[in-house]
Amino acid sequence: MKTKKSIKVLLAGLALLAVMVFLWINVFPNKQQIRAEQIIFSYMISKKMYILPGTEQYKHFMEAIIWKEHPELNRVSDFIKNEEEVDDVIRYALKYSGYDEIYGGRVFPEVKEALPIPTLEPTSTQ
């Protein structure tokens, strides 16, 4: 009887530990997320963009970061010191744009500019 009670207590403790780890990983921001948010807010303030987190407008702004419509947030610039911070900003934007849920956190590959379409010159048939 005592063994069953011990097992129940052990399982309850493991379940509680699993919930705490889940919350720690998924809910509480880490150092990189906090820094990315600071970078984005600094950028918004400098551009006089007053967008509240959690709004549809904020979501669209995060999408614009992903699609490189704000180049200062996609490369080393006055706001971003190194490539690691670029990655952090992109990950943050993926999370708060909703794309993270859709694409599973995969960062989009570099899109190269398309080559021009060749034109055919009319040939003379003389």
Q: Is residue 19 part of a domain?
A: no
Range of the domain at 56: 29-103
Residue 67 lies in a domain: yes
- Report the alpha-carbon distance of residue 99 to residue 109 in Å, rounded: 14
Tokens 């009319």 belong to residue? 122
Q: Using one digit for the tens of pLDDT, what is the confidence trace for 32-90?
A: 888 999 999 999 999 999 999 889 999 999 999 999 999 999 999 999 999 999 999 99
pTM above threshold 0.85: no
CA dist 103 and 90 (Å) reads: 13
Domains in the chain, number: 1
Residues 57, 59, 63, 66: is their CA dihedral positive or negative?
Answer: positive
| Mean model confidence pLDDT for the chain | 81
54 occurs within a structural domain = yes
User: Is residue 91 a part of any domain in this protein?
Assistant: yes
DSSP label of 28: S
Neighbouring residues of 119: CB distance < 8 A, sequence distance ≥ 6: none
In-domain check, residue 70: yes
In a domain, 43, yes or no: yes
What amino acid is encoded at 67 in this protein?
A: W
Q: Is pLDDT at 114 greater than 70 in this prediction? A: no
What are the C-alpha distances in Å from 19 to residues 10, 22, 60? 14, 5, 31
Shortest CA distance to 75 belongs to which of 64, 63, 65, 60? 65
The pair of three-digit structure tokens given for residue 41, joined into one six-digit string? 């807010």
- Does 5 reside within a domain? no
